Amino acid sequence: MSTPYVSHRRLIQNSMAAMLSAIEIYNKPMMTYRDEVTVMLIVNAWELALKAALRKSDVRIFYPKKRYEDYRSFALDTALSKVTGKHLWPDDVDGVGVTANLKALADYRDRAIHLYNIEGLGALMYPFLQQNVLNYRDFVLKIFKKDLADSMTWQLLPLGATAPSESVQFMKPGSDRTALAEVKQFLDGLRQYMDDAEAAGGDMARVATVYDIHMRSVKKMTSADLTVAVSPTADGQIIVKRADPNQTHPFTMTELLAKVNAKRNGRKVTSHDHQAVCWKEGLRNDPRYAWKHSNALSPVWSGDAVSHLAGLSDDYYDQVRVAYQSRERQNG
């Protein structure tokens, strides 16, 4: 039996239909199982879109056939790794950040399909859902020249009696120890995806984004926002802990520059370039990028620092370097 023919046009058509269905369901005023159905459809939309991108590039989307079994197309994880391995992510769509976002949603979906999710986790997924739709639109527009905005209005906004929370502090799963353990396990996994994306120099703005009432992007979520502990007292309140800088800021300056240069398309960024930008932008004093122990001589750097420095243009580096050298001469 020959490999089935699969049209990338049909795949992306069904993918967009699944994404639009997810958005429609999420915006319904009354619906039970809303979060679970929405996430299932969104993950399905991405799986189809990733396979469509592979087929458009003439890449096989089936696992090797086993005797007496039908062909099986790639699951989400395999499709993600194939798109990454074939370098199919558009230049301005960071595959590391998008992958972390999707893995977080896929974990939530798997829990819903095989068991059930603890009440309250759906609200935690809201920033991930927001960013996922934007990631999807950018991915499909760049590869297939199809704009999701042509099929919907971007004025859609889920309204309710309470606003979506920016932190996990709102969650009170109750005092049941099993429920508390499940919540902690899920959040630990979620945090690990974000830590891995930061460590790989991923664009954290592609993972989760929180919006204010005017729908302006006001922050990008990092693992520090999801570093939590579950207390068995105080009605099971989930409390925020201080982030571990060994996880949030894992890079020395040498490692930082190696990560930056691996992500850039321009010239090599040197330690002198780094020093000039730190002087210009005060990066060493910005906790998003740098952390310095009181007994250490040099700071360590975060995944956000990798993304920031990798995104600066050659012209900007040249201008800052000239200004920095001029300052050195004046002070000399």
pLDDT tens readout for residues 270-282: 999 999 999 999 9
- pLDDT per position as a tens digit, 87-114: 999 988 888 889 999 998 998 888 877 7
Q: What single string gives the DSSP state of each residue in 32-72?
A: TTHHHHHHHHHHHHHHHHHHHHHHHTT---BPPPPTTS---
Picking from 45-54, 92-101, 110-119, 150-159, which range would have the lowest pLDDT averaged per residue? 150-159
Domain map (residue ranges) of the chain: 8-154+179-207, 249-331
CATH architecture, domain defined by 8-154+179-207: Up-down Bundle (1.20)
pLDDT score for 277 = 94
> Residue-wise over 215-244: b if at least 16 C-beta within 10 A, else e?
eeeeebbbbbbbbbebeeeeebbbeeeebe
Say what the pTM is: 0.58
- pLDDT per position as a tens digit, 5-20: 889 999 999 999 999 9
The Cα 163–Cα 83 span in angstroms is 36
Whether pLDDT at 240 is above 70: no
